[in-house]
A and B are shown apart, each in its own frame.
Chain A
Amino acid sequence: MILAVTIWLITIVSTVLMVGKYWWFPEVASAHGGDLDRQFMLTLVVTGVVFILAQVGLGYAVARYRDGAGKVANYTHGSEKLEVIWTVATTVVFFAMVIPGQSIWADLYLAETPEDALRIEVTGQQFAWNIRYPGPDGEFGRLAPDLIDDEGGNPLGLDLSDTAAQDDLVLPIMAIPLGKPIELLLRSKDVTHAFSVRELRVKQDLVPGLLIPIQFTATRTGRFEIACAELCGLQHYNMRSFLEVLSEADFAQWLKDQAEE
């Protein structure tokens, strides 16, 4: 009986932790984030029901069928009917939950990038973020690894002999305009990092040797923290930057301010 009560108590506390939302998602700030949160909640409800039923059933079985005088165990090897029922039931429930959710992933990763998307390049390095805006020409200039000079203010090795590179802006922080599609091009100078911003519900590895695009649209203004989410070395926990979502006008002004030498 103590075991049953303990299991039930654990179940109640676990449920309260989830239902009470004491430690929870930050308010969403991207267009796809709402769908992602809804899919999470759907999954939470389905698995929550499975979790509660299984734990309550386990506790009940232990309490109800505890050995005692005169008790006789039921001699049975099972029931094929039951096996078929719960196999089919779990298959249907789980796949019915998982398959529709794939459309959110498809929207994020398989959809065409809109023509008017603002492209920003993000380069990770131990343990800093380099954000590059293409400048007025809209084109990213050439990079040459042997020109890399963190101390001299050229962390990406921007090759200024390329005219497209001359107006490129490389910053340690990021700002984006509200409501405009953003395409980030992710790369790394050294080891694998991951770009993550909780409020945007965005996370993606930066893999050396690859250029990985991701897209999203911000839906509320604010200043959010960019965190590295893939172990990258001793100061991994300290690899931080900021992403500010600004109105279109503020963003244009911000870009102008930053371009000052």
Chain B
Amino acid sequence: MAEEVQTHAAHHEAPSGWVRKYVFSTDHKVIGIQYYMLALFSVLVGVGLSVLIRLNLAWPGTEISILGTLFPEGAPGGIMTPEFYLAMLTMHGTIMVFFVLTTAPQGGFGNYFLPIQIGADDMAFPILNMLSFWVTFLALAVIMAAFFVEGGAPISGWTAYPPLSALGEIAGPGLGTGQSLWVVSIALFCVASLLGALNFITTTIDMRAKGLTMMRLPLTVWGWFVTAILGLLAFGVLLSAGVLLLLDRWAGTSFFIPGGLVVSDQAIDHTGGSPLLWQHLFWFFGHPEVYIAILPGMGAVSHILATFARKPVFGYNAMAFAIIAIGAVSFIVWGHHMFLSGMSPYTAIVFSLTTTAVAVPSAIKTFNWLGTLWGGRIQLTTAMLYALGFVSLFVSGGVTGLFLNQPAVDVYLHDTYFVVGHFHMIMGVAAIFGIFAATYYWFSKMFGRHLNEFWGKVHFWITFVGVYCIFMPMHNLGIGGQPRRYAELTAFDFLQPLVSLQQFISIAAFITAAAQIIFVANFVYSLFKGRVAEMNPWRATTIEWEVPSPPPHDNFGGKFPVVYRGPYEYSVPGAEEDFVPQTAPDARGSTG
């Protein structure tokens, strides 16, 4: 590996005390692992909640005595109430979107690998980085507390539309203290994400190794970089919305509450606000958030497909520009969540067309992934299986977007299970598949040991078939007219033919959720007993594979890499090996 002796500003000594080393660490790798673990904890909670959700949907009124003990108010006698269902639903959505899909790909893998892949010894602002994690941690602690306060967790959904979320307990249980904790948690999360975004952007712009031009960046870095820009522009808006909502709740302001409301016979003493203001602010954040969740996954999948197809990424420039295009357009499409919200119907047409435009770069990405596979020499490692699963899910979840972006079709499908199926497919499981692919790919680098491939594949097969069984039929539920966020299907005649399908989905969900135990067991076991990993087990080209597993404190031992070529030089004719590292000065790949 070529190197450059470097006098970098961000260089800092390895700390010695264990608190500075493992808890309040400024090392991007430790922070990356902390984020990942936080996401792992959160995803287990989130999946647990989804099991309860599925149980209540398919078999309402089932008695589970342990629930009665844990939540005497939400599930008296062990039977879930509709309000408990909605609390679980709100927390499932919030925890998954914020604490899993936003933290694991960006805070976790991005933190760990972005500096290494660009040849930097750390992030540009290590202390800010540490602060960013601990504020996220605080946000998680605050939202978890909402489960246990009087009235329980909020029931207003992860979108927390006012006036429901603004009026307090009068509008429903959980909308008092629980809802306040929710807003505080989200506001903290926004602050943390802003800090993180600043760091990612500065690091990518300022700290790239010599020779590493923007168009030589691994596509992972493009994913994280554009995600950080989206985060910087989006989280600030959600933060301000959250502060306004808190003011409405605590200080008697009326940003979101109009005059003349009467709730449960009680006149509400507010006037002049607009519920739509929240929706605009929320979705101005909320739509880019979808891409915050999926862009790092797209980057990782491109990276992994190239590695295991032993081929350069097909259309690298198109892939990078598609990421930028998706990011840019994502800021002018938020209105497609609001076609039926009462906003001007003229704007609906504009938002419909901008949303259609997102489909184009998304299609470009899919074509190029197929192009990357075409003519390759595909090695079906677990990481590769998950990357291929991602492509399949991305297509399945993507095409249904072309129904929902049409306001006329959305009149029927809006707020039905068609939407639930669509967004779970694409921002839920596709993004999770990106995370799994990255985990199976990079675990060895992060922990110096391999995950077990056999159990990894078992995990993949159950999960892959499982998620299709869960989320595909949801589109049919939506076509049948099933509204989302219904605690049970008992109240309407037209829902009765859909019960059997809901039960099928629930069974698939239980099996798929149980299969995640395999992953957790594999993860914990491999952490301590896994096969020891060499430096470059996948024979890959990018810089993270040129450092030990795990890398030392400053990644490169003070000898910084120099980059000579693009990131995905696989199967170069005439080369000694079927990969040529970015840092190899010689085109034949000899590292001497």
Contact = CB atoms under 8 A, between A and B. Distances in A.
A149 to B, nearest CB: 8
A7 B261 contact: no
A202 interface: yes
A105 B350 CA distance: 12
Interface in A194-236: 194, 196, 198, 201-205, 207-210, 212, 225, 227-236
A225 B373 contact: no
A234 B368 contact: no
A225 B316 CA distance: 52
A24 B489 CA distance: 17
Contacts of A10: 392, 465, 468, 472
A77 B313 CA distance: 6
Interface in A88-137: 90-91, 94-95, 97-99, 101-102, 104-106, 108-110, 125-126
A50 interface: yes
Contacts of B264: 126, 190
Interface-central residue, A62, A106, A235, A240, by most chain B CB under 10 Å: A62
A254 interface: no
B371 A82 contact: yes
B156 A231 contact: yes
B340 interface: yes
B117 to A, nearest CB: 19
Contact of B349 (A105, A230, A234): A105
A99 B82 CA distance: 41
B376 A73 contact: yes
Nearest to B308: A67
Interface in B457-515: 461, 464-465, 468, 472-473, 475-477, 479-481, 483, 485-494, 497-498, 501
Given A65-B374, A126-B263, A73 B483 contact: no
A74 B359 CA distance: 29
B64 interface: no
B414 A51 contact: no
A203 B83 CA distance: 24
Nearest to A57: B370
A65 B82 contact: no
A247 interface: no
B524 interface: no
Contacts of A86: 363-364, 367
B314 interface: yes
**Most chain B C-beta atoms within 10 Å of own C-beta, residue among A201, A205, A210:** A205
A39 B163 contact: no
Contacts of B479: 23-25
A58 interface: yes
A216 B183 CA distance: 39
B487 A236 contact: yes
B388 interface: yes
A39 B167 CA distance: 40
Interface size class of B (residues with CB under 8 A): 35 or more
A160 interface: no
A102 B407 CA distance: 7
B317 to A, nearest CB: 8
A44 B404 CA distance: 12
B491 A238 contact: yes
A189 B262 contact: yes
A76 interface: yes
B259 interface: yes
A194 B484 CA distance: 12
A74 B123 CA distance: 37
B273 interface: yes
B356 to A, nearest CB: 5
A79 B396 CA distance: 25
Nearest to A107: B408
Contacts of B171: 126, 190-191, 233
B307 to A, nearest CB: 11
Given A76-B312, A98-B353, A191-B167, A208 B275 contact: yes
A9 B372 CA distance: 23
Contacts of B261: 145, 189-190, 208
Contacts of B262: 125, 145, 148, 157, 189-190
Interface string B368-407: 1011011111111000010010011001100110110111
Given A75-B312, A209-B258, A97 B402 contact: yes
A131 B501 CA distance: 33
A202 B414 CA distance: 10
Report which residue of A36, A39, A209, A212 has the largest number of chain B beta carbons within 10 angstroms of its beta carbon.
A209
Given A6-B465, A73-B571, A73-B578, A43 B403 contact: yes
B57 to A, nearest CB: 10
A159 to B, nearest CB: 13
B485 A23 contact: no
A196 B416 CA distance: 11
Interface in B64-107: 81-83, 86
B408 A67 contact: no
Max chain A C-beta neighbours (<10 A), residue from B262, B273, B274, B473? B262
B126 interface: no
B378 A62 contact: yes
A229 B163 contact: no
Given A47-B403, A51-B399, A205 B340 contact: yes
Interface string A12-56: 011001100011111000000001100110011011101100110
Given A58-B391, A203-B414, A192 B406 contact: no
B173 interface: yes
Nearest to A151: B265
A146 interface: yes
B251 interface: no
Given A73-B377, A148-B262, A99 B573 contact: no
A36 B164 contact: no
Contact of A75 (B173, B265, B311, B489): B311
Nearest to B570: A73
Contact of B366 (A54, A145, A225, A234): A54
B155 A145 contact: no
Nearest to B157: A231
Given A14-B472, A78-B314, A94-B360, A50 B399 contact: yes
A256 interface: no
A90 B340 contact: no
Contact of A72 (B345, B487, B489, B571): B571
B208 interface: no
Nearest to A98: B356
A55 to B, nearest CB: 6
Contacts of B363: 50, 86, 90, 94
Nearest to B483: A229
A54 B311 contact: no
8 contacts: A40-B403, A67-B377, A72-B571, A90-B364, A148-B262, A207-B276, A209-B258, A229-B416
Closest 5 CB pairs of A and B: A209-B258, A74-B375, A78-B315, A109-B345, A104-B408
Interface of A: 3, 6-7, 10, 13-14, 17-18, 22-26, 35-36, 39-40, 43-44, 46-48, 50-51, 54-55, 57-58, 61-62, 65-68, 71-79, 82-83, 86-87, 90-91, 94-95, 97-99, 101-102, 104-106, 108-110, 125-126, 145-146, 148-151, 157, 189-192, 194, 196, 198, 201-205, 207-210, 212, 225, 227-238, 240
Given A77-B316, A94-B359, 10 more contacts: A14-B468, A40-B403, A47-B400, A55-B395, A90-B359, A106-B349, A190-B167, A209-B274, A227-B492, A234-B487
